[in-house]
Structure 1
Amino acid sequence: MPFYSADSFVPDTSLGFLSKRVFQSSVLALEPIFAAEGTTYIQWSAMVLLWRGYADTCVALARELCHDTGATTRLIERWKAVAGWNERGARTIAESSSSD
């Protein structure tokens, strides 16, 4: 017997919809905490991905964050502006952050 059936399926009560709502509520609750530290949830998520070694390039970071590369590039550019990074090159993100 399938969990959902075409006759009884209601998107508002599906597990996917409800889990997304829990995630969104969590992010909304966490944003003030991150803001007090001068960062955002997405910036913190990116930093953790870099720290844990799950991503070391802009493309890998975008893939892990489920963002497009343009948004991820803007995120990195904001970090560079805040941290005073001004170097560009073929190095990975992790190499850039550890040597600057």
Structure 2
Amino acid sequence: MILIIDLLWLLFALANDCLFFMLSGQVMFASLVLLLFFWGAFDRRGEIPWNAIFETGFMVRDGFLYLYIFMTLEALLLRLTSAPGMPSTESL
């Protein structure tokens, strides 16, 4: 029963964090583009290379999301495989 509750909680947390990563990624992306624009990082005509920016932004966002999912699964695995007498992370 504990395993089912942990898995449901994990699915809820991952769905919630995917939404958070998407929303926070959009805010960070917009602020980065504005910052680069005001620093004059784009060409003299004022055109913004959106394709390159979107590619880089999506790769960075997806990389951090995959890292977070890996860390969450690792923490769940460590919690499920800890011995009965060992201190758990809940006591910290």
What TM-score range do you get, normalising by the shorter chain? 0.3 to 0.5
Give the number of the structure whose residues are more often helix, by fraction.
Answer: 2
Higher alpha-carbon Rg: 2
Q: TM-score, normalised by structure 1?
A: 0.30
